[in-house]
Amino acid sequence: MMAGKRHLLAPGPTPVPEAARLVMARELIHHRGPEFKVIFEEVRARLQWIFETESDVLSLTCSGTGAFEAAMINFTRRDSTIVSIGGGKFGERWAEVARAYGMKVVEVPVTWGESVTPDALAAVLESTPEVAMVTVSASETSTGAWHPIEALAQVVRDHSEALFAVDGITAVGVQPIPMDAWGIDVLVSGSQKAFGVPPGLAFVAASERAWERYAQSDHPRYYFDLGRERDAQRRQQTAFTPAISVILALNEALKLMEEEGREALYARHERNARAARAGVEALGLQLFARSPANSVTAALVPESVSGKAVVRAMRESYGVTIAGGQGDYADRLVRIGHIGFFDGSDMLIAMSALERALADQGLDIPFGSGVAAVQGVLGAAGRVG
């Protein structure tokens, strides 16, 4: 293991900005005191801003999977039918949660690396009566694919009375996913992605339609009772002990996002994503997703190369942490994250390390070709940062 500077370019967790790190080093405050209430009120308002919703955005002390589970058991019934859009590990996780609670699941099959089509969803809904919820992961982190969320929301409205629940864990704060404007009923996210703070918080926002279903739900729940949580959070409290330090850090990160502005935030993520895609293609790698998200670039390595070995070499020899593939693609994919507080210089570092790691695996890599492609995108945009 090399000593020296480390660079975290995984699709989560992501680097924590200095302002957020510093606030976590302060003396701990009491979560039932007046100081916390003031900060939490700011957090709640800023979360509504980035979710683009008038609904409450509830903060839960758990991982994103906890938000999946909370959404499922608060807005459905035990005998509900769930339509789950697959296409990757996280899209398929919605189905796993529903089955764990004994619900019927109808899957919309999607080949990994592909994005679901609105017609495919419409066909399933037309043949499946009384659907309670349609689920999807907007930015499928395991494959790098983006699903057409706005069009899917319209299909759900046109073909059923179902709620539309979206995993926005690597979408919120990365590219536009306006909850209210697009008619999303449930939108979840997590602290360790675009928000750039440590793992420990998940967020759930629900529409009025969803809250009407809450009153009808018969699932057992206690810690994940979102009605109890909403009542508490409207008083600038949490129902149970929160991750206090992470909430303080989140407020600082949200301030940075506000200062940058939503459009600039989305533009920066889009620019970094284009740069990463250009770089890997210049190195002869194939993009895995046909319709790539702006959160992570997933690329297939040649069959003669081990994706795991490339990831290991980048980390151990060159100090750059990216992610490998998952499932059947565990040794075939490399995934470069560009979600969070990254700029163009981070893409240059990642591409330089990737060039060297691929060369270490025996590929004939013209050094500088990937970096030059990244520079071309950044230069065309008129900036590196």
pLDDT in tens, 63-102: 999 999 999 999 999 999 999 999 999 999 999 999 999 9
Backbone phi, psi, residue 264, to 5°: -65, -35
Q: Is 268 annotated as a binding residue?
A: no
Question: What is the C-alpha to C-alpha distance for residues 47 and 83, in angstroms, rounded to an integer?
Answer: 28
Q: Between 344-360 and 262-282, two packed helices, what is the crossing angle to 10 degrees?
A: 20
Give 47's pLDDT tier (boundaries 50, 70, 90): very high
Q: pTM value?
A: 0.96
Q: Cβ(42)–Cβ(236) under 8 Å?
A: no
Domain boundaries, the chain: 7-13+261-381, 31-259
Strand bridging mode 286-287 / 296-300 = antiparallel
Asked whether residue 360 carries a pLDDT value surpassing 60, the answer given is yes
Specify the fold of 31-259.
Answer: Aspartate Aminotransferase; domain 2 (3.40.640)
Average pLDDT over residues 110-114: 97
Q: Which residues pair with 83 in a beta bridge?
A: 106, 134
Nearest CA-CA partner of 175 in 255, 90, 273: 273
Give 3's pLDDT tier (boundaries 50, 70, 90): low
Give 384's pLDDT tier (boundaries 50, 70, 90): low
Tokens at 348, concatenated = 């240059």
| Side chain identity, residue 251 | N
Q: What local confidence, expressed as pLDDT, does residue 156 receive?
A: 98
Q: Which residues pair with 108 in a beta bridge?
A: 85
Average pLDDT over residues 140-159: 98
188 three-class SS: strand
Give 4's pLDDT tier (boundaries 50, 70, 90): confident
Question: What is the C-alpha to C-alpha distance for residues 289 and 296, in angstroms, rounded to an integer?
Answer: 10
The answer for 133, left when phi > 0, alpha when psi is -120 to 50, beta otherwise, is: beta
Instruction: Give the CATH number of domain 7-13+261-381; options: 3.90.1150.10, 3.10.290.10, 3.40.50.300, 1.10.10.10.
Output: 3.90.1150.10
pLDDT in tens, 154-177: 999 999 999 999 999 999 999 999
